[in-house]
Amino acid sequence: MERQAIEHGHNHYEMELPHGRLHLYASPDVMRSFEAKVYEMADNNLRIPRNVYMSYTPDAHVGVGTCIGTTAVWRMKDGFVSPSIVGVDIGCGMRVHLTPLHRRDIQDRAVRRALIEAIERYVPTNERTNTHYADIDIMDVVRHGLKGLPERYVPDERWLTHVEESTFKFDHAYLEHLPPKIRKYAHGQLGTLGGGNHFIELQYVELAEEQRELAERWGLFDGQVVVMIHSGSRAWGAMLGQAYTKELREAMYSWGVENPDRNLIYAPIASREGQSYLNLMYSALNFAVSNRHMIAYGVREAFRDVFGAEMELPVLYDLMHNYALKEFHRNEPMLVHRKGATRALPPGHFLNAAAYKETGHPALIPGSMGTSSYIMVGRPEGIKNFYSICHGAGRARSRKATKELVTVDQFERSLRVGTDDEVLVNHRSLQSILDECPQAYKDVDQIIDSVVGASLADVVATCKPMAAIKGV
């Protein structure tokens, strides 16, 4: 495929593809690392009519139907919605909780091991283990999000306000069309971690000197222990995604719509299929934010078991990186898809949660096991990319290729096994999670540097890993 790149400076490129323009935000080195397939997938996405804008963040890599790291925008009045540009794990995202602890308080391996074991008691990490919260009505959660949770599971008001949205509103009548098995499978998964790249990580904070005042305003301090959580909508979102992949593919066939990639599906926003997907997608967003909330609730209980009943873990922020939301841009409503892309609103933006109106909200960017994660804040210049930044490091190789190319010894070295700074994990055998080793991912520091260099966001704090809990 012939490609012509226009360089706008500041890590911003514009690529002319056969069916439209693709914007890329990456350093020259990261740009050179993109494989040809990502451009082929972008061109397939740009075949969807009336696209307003499409971009890749520097962590972009090949996904199913659409690359992870995509922002794609259509007008609400005449545009399209694509489950492929949302992703199967609808509402997957990040959450960070603060603690009053300093890294020295958990430096002892025995303390960290006790925390890991306590967290595993409260947060099921095995797919076959059911939730501890069977008393919560799953339908209240998918209808009302955090506001559907019983009051006893909401430690304080911040748990409802320091989030992207506490409730995603939609027409509940669409729930009547769901097969009963979705309710059955999802009921046992609220407050559970899931497998793959989902995790709970204990980290300590290093503040960026130029953002120290903002960091302290957010409640951060040097050496502080924080908890980072990565999970999504579990079976609720996955089964919705599967159901609508099939339904929309059949609808596209009946409309005579074709695309070279059969995994890329889409429908007009105004169509029956488009409205059905959008409404039920919001139900999955409600499940996802509630799932992370209940995981965090379990982590709080675990910390209390180890450090005492007075221990509190106030929430810093919760946000998503797999979704499509109606947002106002260029003086009109648009549907902004983000698949593996994080919204990073600047100070003063009207879409900020009330608690972060003045400062901009924390944008939470995980690294990989054994590498740093980041807390960032959006810049006003981010408007050029619809306020989207990276969602993590981004995979450099597939799970299969990782297992073939990386040894357990290499994985151990990356976790500094046997040293005082070892990143402890909950798995007794690293072989079982080898496909999640740092070598499977891009260099997160290069990704963050690309975002900062593109003037999309600034680093507020770097989070160094001390212990990681992974699902199976």
CA separation (Å) from 260 to 194, 265, 289? Answer: 32, 11, 34
User: Would you list which residues are annotated within the binding site?
Assistant: 89, 197-201, 230, 321-322, 366-369, 373, 391-394, 470
Q: Which residue has the tokens 């939730």?
A: 131
DSSP codes of every residue in 371-438: S-EEEEEE-GGGGGGTTEE--SS-BSS-HHHHHHH--HHHHHHHTTTTSTT--EES-S-GGGGGGGSG
Q: Say if residues 433 and 171 touch (Cβ distance below 8 Å).
A: no
One-letter amino acid at 78 equals D
Distance, in Å, from the CA atom of 284 to the CA atom of 292, rounded to the nearest integer, reads 12
Distance, in Å, from the CA atom of 411 to the CA atom of 401, rounded to the nearest integer, reads 14
- 391 catalytic, yes or no? yes
Task: Specify which residues 376 forms β-bridges with.
Answer: 363, 459
Q: Which of 97, 187, 361, 391 is catalytic?
A: 391
Task: Specify which residues 231 forms β-bridges with.
Answer: 93
Which residue, among 147, 150, 148, 138, has the nearest Cα to 175 in the 3D structure? 138
Radius of gyration of the chain (CA): 21
At how many degrees (to 10) do helices 272-307 and 109-122 cross?
A: 130
Scored b (16 or more CB within 10 A) or e, 64-93 reads bbbbbbbbbbbbeeebbbbbbbbbbbbbbb
Specify the 3-state DSSP secondary structure of 41: helix
User: Would you list which residues are annotated within the binding site for Mn(2+)?
Assistant: 89, 198, 230, 321
Neighbours of 417 (CB within 10 A): 16
Q: How many CA atoms lie within 13 A of 420 on its CB side?
A: 4
Question: For the chain, what percentages of helix, strand and coil (3-state, to nearest 5) are there?
Answer: 40, 25, 35
Distance, in Å, from the CA atom of 432 to the CA atom of 136, rounded to the nearest integer, reads 32
User: Would you list which residues are annotated within the binding site for GMP?
Assistant: 197-201, 321-322, 366-369, 373, 391-394, 470
DSSP codes of every residue in 339-370: ES-EE-PPTT-TTS-GGGTTT-PPEEE---TT
Q: Say if residues 167 and 146 touch (Cβ distance below 8 Å).
A: yes
Distance, in Å, from the CA atom of 342 to the CA atom of 390, rounded to the nearest integer, reads 6
Tokens of 191: 């407050």
Active site residues: 391
